[in-house]
Amino acid sequence: MTQVSRPTLVALGKALTSSSIIGLLVLLSVLVPTGLRAQSYDVVLSGGRVMDPESGLDAIRHLGIRNGEIVAVSATPLEGETVVDVSGLVVAPGFIDLHAHGQDLFSSRLQAQDGVTTALELEGGAADVDQWYSAREGRRVIHYGASASHGRARAAALGGQEAAVREPAGLEHISLMENRLRQELAKGALGIGYGIQYTPGARREEIYRMFELAAEENVTNFVHIRYAGMVEPGSGLEAVHEMVANAAGTGASVHIVHVGSSGLRQVPTILQTIEGAQERGLDVTTEVYPYTAASTGINAAIFDPGWRARMGSDYGDIEWVATGERLDSLTFHQRREEGGTIIAHIIPREMVEIALAHPLVMVASDGVRFVNGRAHPRGAGTFARVLGRYSRDQNVLPLMEAIRKMTLMPAQRLETMLPEMNNKGRIKAGADADITVFDPDTVIDNATFAEPAQASSGIIHVLVDGTFVLRDGVLDESAFPGKPMRRGH
């Protein structure tokens, strides 16, 4: 770089008269490099359709990125060390997944190719927060984080996982759970995660006490509610009422996961309940994944006797993940004895569309770990599926609204307990350079139930902390810019 010293400039000034000022400016324009004049950036994304759900900006802009931060959003071209022409493409905040069980490298790479820049394990949570984070340090493609697991705390208090499923807890056990969760929160856990339907022994009083703890610690409860189904007693609506009552009684915030698979045909009334709770000052939110099938373990308490009536489903709706076969009465009970993962084709399509269109519902994948390339396709295609199938092709929701549900809304859900989320989910100067660039005409999910480990199409570039993890649709397998999202760290 050419440098001009202060003495040189002084000498030049003395040598020139006031009438030569234009000549001085011309001389400086030659001596001072263009990059210095225009302020150089590490990366410039040039000429894309920038869509920011916070400000409502939807215009052609040029982004200047330096040291992992967006430092310029300009209507005029910028210069930088790396300039990437993104004309014709949408430049959006990186997608934030609040519900990602697949926290291994394979799953994270598929999510990066789906536009995800932050993936958090908030429903299931971690048993040991320090161990969970240390196991991922330095080898993550995207940002990561976890809540503290109520289920694991319950198992520790009651003496094992089997007891944790069905045994009720006494006051002494509840105290042990509270102490353990408080310790994990002190280590930086992102709230408390619950799978109440998987632990039917957890009585309402126990869950209420955990909500009291969350209120004291100013963290959110991320909850798989107690019931899924339409039969009273024990409906999804009844389970949502428990969450709303807990929030009202304790002042705690609660995020209800996958409203589609928990609510089934009660989704409209459940969303009306959540909307009413918010209007009355309660901090209750929810999410949905864009599929008509759920996935879980076949030996879960969800499939205790009576499940067909509760869910309005039958054996043939259950798919064995390892082989893709549909089950019958005989094979269902055989598989339940041996254990394994299933896909349950039980969610009405219109309920998914109602949830996606509702302004209060976020998008989250509930993606699970792939085993031998097999899993529910939501872990690979959730976000491109919303953008392509539901926004572009079916007009279920506008593009800006789709982006808001997967960027700004999840960031805002976390801001009170994780202040760094104030700089995610937006495109503006000062925001983190977590950015997803996609082609609105071609973006689509390719993952299917038959071939679930297929990367999405139309996601062109993905930057995490200002580093390309996906460029021109090609994954950089040497890039590991992902950082831990952790309270107080």
Is residue 408 classed as helix, strand or coil in its secondary structure? Answer: helix
Q: How many CB atoms lie within 10 A of CB 474?
A: 11
Asked whether residue 41 carries a pLDDT value surpassing 80, the answer given is: yes
Say how far apart CA 400 and CA 414 lie, in whole Å: 21
339 torsion bin: left (phi>0), alpha (psi -120 to 50), beta (else): left
Residue-wise pLDDT tens digits, 272-330: 999 999 999 999 999 999 999 999 999 999 999 999 999 999 999 999 999 999 999 99
Is residue 281 classed as helix, strand or coil in its secondary structure? Answer: coil
Question: Which of 192, 118, 196, 93 is CA-nearest to residue 149?
Answer: 192
Is residue 321 classed as helix, strand or coil in its secondary structure? Answer: coil
% residues pLDDT > 70 (the chain): 92
Residue with tokens 């930057």: 463
Grade residue 8 by pLDDT with cuts at 50, 70 and 90.
very low
Widest Cα–Cα separation across the chain = 99
Say how far apart CA 234 and CA 231 lie, in whole Å: 6
Say how far apart CA 259 and CA 264 lie, in whole Å: 8
Instruction: Delimit the domains of the chain by residue range.
Output: 1-32, 93-292+347-475
Asked whether residue 12 carries a pLDDT value surpassing 60, the answer given is: no
Question: Which of 419, 420, 418, 387 is CA-nearest to residue 404?
Answer: 387
- pLDDT at position 309, please? 93
307 torsion bin: left (phi>0), alpha (psi -120 to 50), beta (else): alpha
Task: Answer yes or no: are the C-beta atoms of 463 and 122 closer than 8 Å.
Answer: no
Mean pLDDT of 187-205: 98
Mean pLDDT of 48-54: 98
- pLDDT at position 229, please? 86
The mean of the pLDDT values for the chain is 93
**Tokens matching residue 176:** 């042990």
Task: Answer yes or no: are the C-beta atoms of 72 and 78 closer than 8 Å.
Answer: yes
Say how far apart CA 228 and CA 331 lie, in whole Å: 23
% residues pLDDT > 90 (the chain): 91
Say how far apart CA 101 and CA 41 lie, in whole Å: 36
CA angle 457/462/465 to nearest 5° reads 165
Give 376's contacts (C-beta < 8 A, 6+ positions apart): 291, 293, 294, 295, 321, 343, 366, 367, 368, 449, 452
Give 408's contacts (C-beta < 8 A, 6+ positions apart): 53, 54, 93, 425, 426
Task: Answer yes or no: are the C-beta atoms of 122 and 222 closer than 8 Å.
Answer: yes
Inter-axis angle of helices 150-158 and 171-186, nearest 10: 130
The CATH H-level (homologous superfamily) assignment of domain 93-292+347-475 is: Metal-dependent hydrolases (3.20.20.140)
- pLDDT at position 117, please? 98
Q: Where are the alpha helices (DSSP H) in 42-81?
A: none
Say how far apart CA 342 and CA 33 lie, in whole Å: 62
Question: Which of 355, 347, 362, 386 is CA-nearest to residue 270?
Answer: 355
Grade residue 17 by pLDDT with cuts at 50, 70 and 90.
very low
- pLDDT at position 489, please? 82
Asked whether residue 258 carries a pLDDT value surpassing 50, the answer given is: yes
- pLDDT at position 16, please? 42
- pLDDT at position 171, please? 96
Residue-wise pLDDT tens digits, 137-174: 999 999 999 999 999 999 999 999 999 999 999 999 99
Mean pLDDT of 355-370: 97
DSSP letter at 79?
-
Per-residue burial over 422-454, b if 16 or more Cβ lie within 10 Å, else e, is: bbbbbbeeebbbbbbbbbbeebbbbbebeebbb
Nearest 5°: phi and psi at 362?
Answer: -85, 170
Q: How many CB atoms lie within 10 A of CB 17?
A: 8
